Structure 1
Amino acid sequence: MLKLLVVEDHALVREGLVGLLSQIEEGASVFESADFESALGVLDSEGDFDLVLLDLALPGIDGFAGLDILRRRYPAMPVAVVSAFDDMPTVTRVINLGASGFIPKALNGECLLQAVREVLAGNIFRPSGQALARMDDAVPVPPSSVSVRPEDIGLTDRQAQVLCLMVRGLSNRDIAEQLDLSEGTVKIHATAVFKALGVNSRTQALVTAARYRIDFADVF
């Protein structure tokens, strides 16, 4: 019999998830918590769970820190993030922190259940490119109060260097000279940076770098 835990502070969303997940198989037990501390209490008192579904925007704790705590305290227990912050850097960071999946809240009920089934089957679920939110001025800052390392959001060392120099205002030609690369190679790295950040232009990349407080202290 499946045993699931939903950690979500918004009552209406939590109740909806609990009701939906109870349909995943006959006899499934779905527990719920409105905050991270009570979730830890449930996990300690109720024994093993097959899956925890964790919202990132919880009161009192940085969502990424909460995910990290769960992965360290319960390494054998799958944790899937269910969040409205479904842009590419957030998805990448969640997976890098050890989540078994990232499930956007924008999915309909059938698709959400299918995503949960994939995770329960031992697969890593992440949304397709079409499902990811586009970065523009209307996208809210993700629920993180600390700076983010470039590798946390999928940037290689060289890509981090290129983005860092972009932030400093250097042109592609200037970046090429600084890194002893051809301008064409810099453009290739810039395109990879845009893909990792889920953006389409240098301007959007700079906005994203500021929003995520990307820490470039160790890129050179």
Structure 2
Amino acid sequence: MEDHALVREAMAQSLARLQPGLECVEASSADQALACLDADGDIDLAVIDLMLPDMNGFSLLAVLAKRFPEVPAVVVSAIDDEVSVRRAIKAGASGYVSKSSSSEVLLQAVRGVLDGGVHLPDDKSATQPARRARMPASERYGLTAAQGRVLELLAAGKTNREIADLLGVSEGTVKVHMTAIFRALDVSSRAQALVVMSRCGVRL
């Protein structure tokens, strides 16, 4: 979802490198994008700009999260300050890429989000919660030792399957822990959990 045709075409060409046969559906406005999502139930990912002609990008993220919760969203924007990144994640984005980044960074972000992960700009403190550590997550949020280990791996960008393999448990067990962690942190996504931990100075 990008209102500049040249930018849309460049991103579509970059994303086409993900895998053979991948189809990119382009939209120049929020209304057009929502219509595409309504018409096609097989869309796996939404890539959006924050500056759209008919709707604020943050508002669009909230609409996507409510109407299409199964479709993750990655923001690609020239606006890349920390406040905007946090706001986008809070609104429902699973990834954030600056337009100044390379196409390889965009592909890395999309791959990570499609695998169930979260991608934030490397220079944003929201991506580095452990460095601002003060209080253990288990102490602040009342997590069990097992939940604390899952949270640590979540912060490291691991997918549910990777966490399960590393901890020697089933993926279903990891999902149960994730549900408990989200409830304790009062969030609904991995990205929001990372932002909460960063903002509160939580140590893993």
Matches of 2:15 and 2:123, distance apart in 1: 25
> Is contact 2:59-2:91 (8 Å) kept?
no
Q: Secondary structure at the match of 1:68?
A: helix
Aligned to 2:34: 40
Give per-residue Cα distances to partners, 1:131-164, cap 9 Å, x unaligned.
Answer: 99xxxxxxxxxxxxxxxxxxxxxxxxxxxxxxxx
- Please state how far the C-alpha of 1:63 moved relative to its aligned partner: 1.3
User: Which aligned runs of 4 or more in structure 1 are off by greater than 4 angstroms?
Assistant: none
Aligned to 1:62: 56
Tell me how large the CA RMSD over aligned residues is: 1.9
- Please state how far the C-alpha of 1:92 moved relative to its aligned partner: 0.6
- Please state how far the C-alpha of 1:97 moved relative to its aligned partner: 1.3
Scaled by the length of structure 2, what TM-score is found? 0.60
Select which of 60, 68, 84 maps to 1:90: 84
In the alignment, is residue 26 of structure 1 matched against residue 34 of structure 2? Answer: no
Greater percentage in helix: 2
Letter in 2 for 1:56: L
* Residue ranges of structure 2 left out of the alignment (5+ in a row): 127-197, 200-204
> How many pairs align?
128
Q: Secondary structure at the match of 1:27?
A: coil
Scaled by the length of structure 1, what TM-score is found? 0.55
Letter in 1 for 2:98: P
* Residue ranges of structure 1 left out of the alignment (5+ in a row): 1-6, 133-194, 197-220
Matches of 1:41 and 1:22, distance apart in 2: 22
1:91-170 mapped onto 2 (5 Å cutoff): 91-129=85-123
User: Are the structure 2 counterparts of residues 130 and 98 from structure 1 closer, same or farther at C-alpha, using a change threshold of 3 Å?
Assistant: closer
Pair member with larger Rg: 1
Matches of 1:28 and 1:15, distance apart in 2: 14
Q: Secondary structure at the match of 2:25?
A: strand
